[in-house]
Amino acid sequence: MDEHHLSQRLQAVASFVKPGSRIADIGADHAYLAAALILEKRALFAIAGEVAKGPFENAVEEVKGQGLEKKIELRLADGLAAIHDDDHIDTVIIAGMGGALIRRILDEGQAKLGAVKRLILQPNVGAPNLRRWLAAHRFQINHEQMVEEDGHIYEIIVADPVGMPVHYDDRELMFGPLLLEKGGPVFDKKWQDELARDQHTLTQLEQAKQVPVAKKHSFQQRIELIQEVLR
């Protein structure tokens, strides 16, 4: 993979960037995504934020190598601290991390989100709690996509601020409000796999010497919900 050949997952993330955007890619790693967006002229300006030195240095090399120093600013920083007010960032991308970490980054960086018009998030796990955070902070999920690549299924969540209360019920939080509507073979595959895993866990719980009743009950509820959705 490089800036000319993004993975399918990152291509899908990039497709949700509106032309003419000023983006911040947080956890940019090698900065391929930011470089691709600038080279395609989809983004006008990019911040590539990285908290770890190794990836940050890879990003520095990438940006220099492509001669993109005027369009991409590299910042060694934790989360949204990479964004400065005079960057006028309108789109924040956080991809390839756990949902809990993405949620922490958003939560701690709320002061930087005032002028942001779009969040493009790709949690590797823990999407439901991330959706809960988005709704609680008045972000509406306007696009969701699943991408299957190299044996993994990824969820991309695109949320825009709406300035009014947003509510998702438990089903929408778990499956994704739009993914739930769309369904499709990748959706079915993901949830069939989850169902099999949960059923296996439930069997193990039932075989325990002291059955953990509350845990068993919550797995039973999850299993019923998945079965209902897959029906």
Provide the binding-site residues for ligand SAM, judged by CB under 6 A.
10, 26-29, 49-52, 55, 78-79, 95-97, 101, 105
Minimum CB distance to ligand SAM smaller for 71 or for 75: 75
- CA-wise closest residue to 182 among 136, 212, 223, 141: 141
Minimum CB distance to ligand SAM smaller for 17 or for 226: 17
Minimum CB distance to ligand SAM smaller for 55 or for 128: 55
Helix (H, G, I), strand (E, B) or coil at 71: coil
Pairing state of beta strands 118-123 and 152-161?
Answer: antiparallel
Q: How far apart are CA 108 and CA 79, in angstroms?
A: 8
Please provide residue 147's backbone torsions phi and psi, each rounded to the nearest 5 degrees: -130, 130
Cβ-contact 159, 141 below 8 angstroms: yes
Closest separation in Å from C-beta 171 to ligand SAM: 27
Using N-to-C axis directions, what is the helix angle for 32-39 and 8-15, rounded to 10°? Answer: 50
Closest separation in Å from C-beta 151 to ligand SAM: 16
Minimum CB distance to ligand SAM smaller for 133 or for 191: 133
Closest separation in Å from C-beta 139 to ligand SAM: 19
Minimum CB distance to ligand SAM smaller for 102 or for 159: 102
Closest separation in Å from C-beta 23 to ligand SAM: 12
Helix (H, G, I), strand (E, B) or coil at 148: strand
Closest separation in Å from C-beta 147 to ligand SAM: 12
Q: How far apart are CA 219 and CA 224, in angstroms?
A: 9
Pairing state of beta strands 139-149 and 21-26?
Answer: unpaired
